[in-house]
Amino acid sequence: MSIVVQKYGGSSVGTIDKIKKVAETIIKRKNNGDSLVVVVSAMGDTTDDLIALAKKISDNPDKRELDALLSTGEMISASLLAMTLKEMGHDAVSYTAYQIGIRTTGQYGKSLIDDIDGSKIKESIEEGKIVIVAGFQGINEDGDITTLGRGGSDTTAVAIAVKLNGICEIYTDVDGIYSVDPRKYPKAKKLDEIDYEEMLELASLGAQVMHSRSIELGEKYKTPIYVGLSTSDIKGTVIREVKNMNMESKPVTGLATSDDDVAITIVDIDSDINILSNLFESLASRRINVDIISQTAPMNGKVNISFTIPKDDLKECLGIARDFAKDENIKIDEDITKFSIVGIGMKTTSGVAARMFKLFSDNNICVKMITTSEIRITCAIKQEDKIKAINIVAEEFNL
């Protein structure tokens, strides 16, 4: 008998009728002999609605209290699902992060899971119960409720699967992982499997199917993650270490875009490595994720430094930047799409960047910033060029 940890996203539990359908799916799996732990997100747009309520009180709500408020969404889903299962004749119990000891560290709204006390879950499984867990939340060293950031229920599910040495299945409103978001490129191909490293890059670059920290956990502990549609038996995608890939025949596995970033440029900052170090150290201490970084050559002891951050962190970032430059020297560019291609095959295939930038040149697509790694190329382009760029690059690399 294996332990299966399933996660159902907000759209899968968005209404009572949908919760009933999820319960039927869970019962069917339970009847096959598996022990089930089910992690749930908040219903539909509940999290956004709760944020909107908080914003009616304050433009900058207290982060401790905001986490306490947002965590209630998942508790509602967990309780309703447990009630539904009981009404259908199956014993179930719902737990919050506090009740099963999901301990976290870090800032409110961006906490990291430190450990999980799996004893209560195991005890309930041994009693034959279906365990329902409120995702997205944890308890810090002060006993306060914290949240794990957007998509944090994925991380909850993978962490529990790791702790229980179980199987992890993520159920959502898509039938697997595609080479490109099919809403942006209808001809996109669904992947049967994808390597952790590739999926981690795609998730961190804007592919919204999975939370990047959940992929990190899966890779670290070699826990395969299945991603599929909650309302169908259509085969999904498995995220795992992929061996024996024919990398040379397909150097690019996927493409991701994100409109959720903003570019900050600080003009005429002193060309002093200590200043730049202090700037990025300050951003890191506030858990502001910096991605693309570019710098001009020094002139008269001055440089221009540009970098991208999530738009949600703009206000906090500007507060830090003002410690290093005057307002008139801080430029903001919100008209960017972060455009990325990813593939392990890039490690052994030359000319991938040349092909992409030739396409951009031929189609008058302006590239504002560029960054690369062994398996990805990311650039910032104008938002109006996004769909054109997706189409030409996807066609070029058969995505």
pTM here is 0.82
Statement to judge: residues 293 and 156 lie in one domain: no
* Nearest alpha carbon to residue 24 among 94, 89, 121, 96: 89
Q: Which of 314, 333, 352 is the last residue of a domain?
A: 333
Condensed to tens digits (0 to 9), the pLDDT of residues 106-161 reads 889 989 999 999 899 999 999 999 999 999 999 999 999 999 987 889 999 999 99
Residue type, 240: R
Q: Is residue 344 part of a domain?
A: no
Q: Is residue 387 part of a domain?
A: no
pLDDT of residue 325: 87
Statement to judge: residues 41 and 137 lie in one domain: yes
Query: What is the CB neighbour count within 10 angstroms for residue 141?
Result: 9
Statement to judge: residues 32 and 149 lie in one domain: yes
Q: Is residue 275 part of a domain?
A: yes
Residue 138, strand partner residues: 146
Q: Is residue 194 part of a domain?
A: no
DSSP code for 250: -
Q: Is residue 18 part of a domain?
A: yes
Q: Is residue 297 part of a domain?
A: yes
Statement to judge: residues 267 and 149 lie in one domain: no
pLDDT of residue 249: 62
Residue range of the domain that includes 54: 3-173
Q: Which of 144, 173, 202 is the last residue of a domain?
A: 173
5: its two tokens: 């940890």
With 0-12 / 13-18 / 19 or more C-beta atoms within 10 angstroms meaning exposed / middle / buried, residue 190 is middle
pLDDT of residue 246: 57
Q: Cα–Cα distance between 77 and 79 in angstroms, integer?
A: 6
Condensed to tens digits (0 to 9), the pLDDT of residues 174-185 reads 889 999 988 899
Statement to judge: residues 151 and 273 lie in one domain: no
With 0-12 / 13-18 / 19 or more C-beta atoms within 10 angstroms meaning exposed / middle / buried, residue 298 is exposed
Q: Is residue 87 part of a domain?
A: yes
In sign, the C-alpha dihedral spanning 27, 28, 34, 40 is: negative
Q: Is residue 236 part of a domain?
A: no
- Longest pairwise C-alpha distance within the chain: 77
Q: What is the CATH number of the domain that holds 98?
A: 3.40.1160.10
For the chain, residues with pLDDT lower than 70 are: 1, 206-208, 243-249
Statement to judge: residues 17 and 138 lie in one domain: yes
In three-state secondary structure terms, 156 is helix
Q: Cα–Cα distance between 73 and 259 in angstroms, integer?
A: 26
228: its two tokens: 């599929």
pLDDT of residue 211: 78
* Number of structural domains the chain divides into: 2
Q: What is the CATH number of the domain that holds 327?
A: 3.30.70.260
212: its two tokens: 């990047």
Statement to judge: residues 37 and 168 lie in one domain: yes
pLDDT of residue 209: 75
* Nearest alpha carbon to residue 133 among 82, 86, 78, 171: 78
Determine the distance from the C-alpha atom of residue 65 to the mean position of all C-alpha atoms in its chain, rounded to a whole number: 23
Q: Cα–Cα distance between 300 and 339 in angstroms, integer?
A: 34
Determine the distance from the C-alpha atom of residue 296 to the mean position of all C-alpha atoms in its chain, rounded to a whole number: 31
Q: Which of 312, 333, 354 is the last residue of a domain?
A: 333
What does R_g of the chain's alpha carbons equal in angstroms? 22
